[in-house]
Amino acid sequence: MPTGLTKDAGWQIGVSRTLPHPAPAVWDFISSPEGIALWLGPGADLTPERGAPYRTAAGVTGEVRGYRPGDRIRVTHGTTTVQVALTPATPAADGARTVLRFHQERLASAEERERQRAHWQGIMDRVAAALDRQ
C-alpha cells in the first residue's frame, strides 16, 4: 500500500513539530479564536461540544467530533476529518516544549495528500511564529 493510504480512512497526512512553549500556552493559542481561524479558517467559531456545527468564511462546513481541553480537537472539514493534538515533548522535565500535530484523513488522492502536506506545514510555520510573538 502506498505511503499515506490507509485501509479505512483513505489518504491521510500528518504534520508535527516540537515547539519551545509549554502545553498550556500552545493549547490556549490553538483553541483561541485567533488560533482556530489560523488552522481551521477565518470565520470558524467552534463550540467545544461533540456535534456542534461550524462554518468558515470560505463556506467550508463541518462539525466538532471531539474536543478534549488541553489535548485535542477533532472536526469534520468538508469531506475530510482534521485533528489538532498536543503532547508534552520528551524529556518533559521542565514542561517547556510541546509537540503539536495536525492530522487530516479521508483525502481523495495522493495529489491532495501532497497539497495538504504543504498546507499544514505552512500552518505550522504560522502557529510557531504567532506563539513566538506572544
First to last CA, the chain: 43
Give the confidence band of 93 by pLDDT, cuts at 50, 70, 90. Answer: low
Percent of the chain with pLDDT over 70: 96
Note the pLDDT of residue 51.
96
Cell 480537537 belongs to which residue? 73
* 94 has a pLDDT exceeding 70: no
| Of 100, 103, 78, the residue nearest 6 (C-alpha) | 103
Residue pLDDT, tens place only, 25-60: 999 999 999 999 999 999 999 999 999 999 999 999
Q: What is the mean pLDDT of residues 10-26?
A: 94
pTM of the model: 0.91
Note the pLDDT of residue 92.
53
Q: Which helix (H) or strand (E) holds 42?
A: none
Note the pLDDT of residue 96.
85
Note the pLDDT of residue 28.
97
| b/e code 116-132 from CB counts within 10 Å (16+ = b) | bbebbeebbeebbeebe
Measure the CA–CA gap between 131 and 90, rounded to whole angstroms: 20
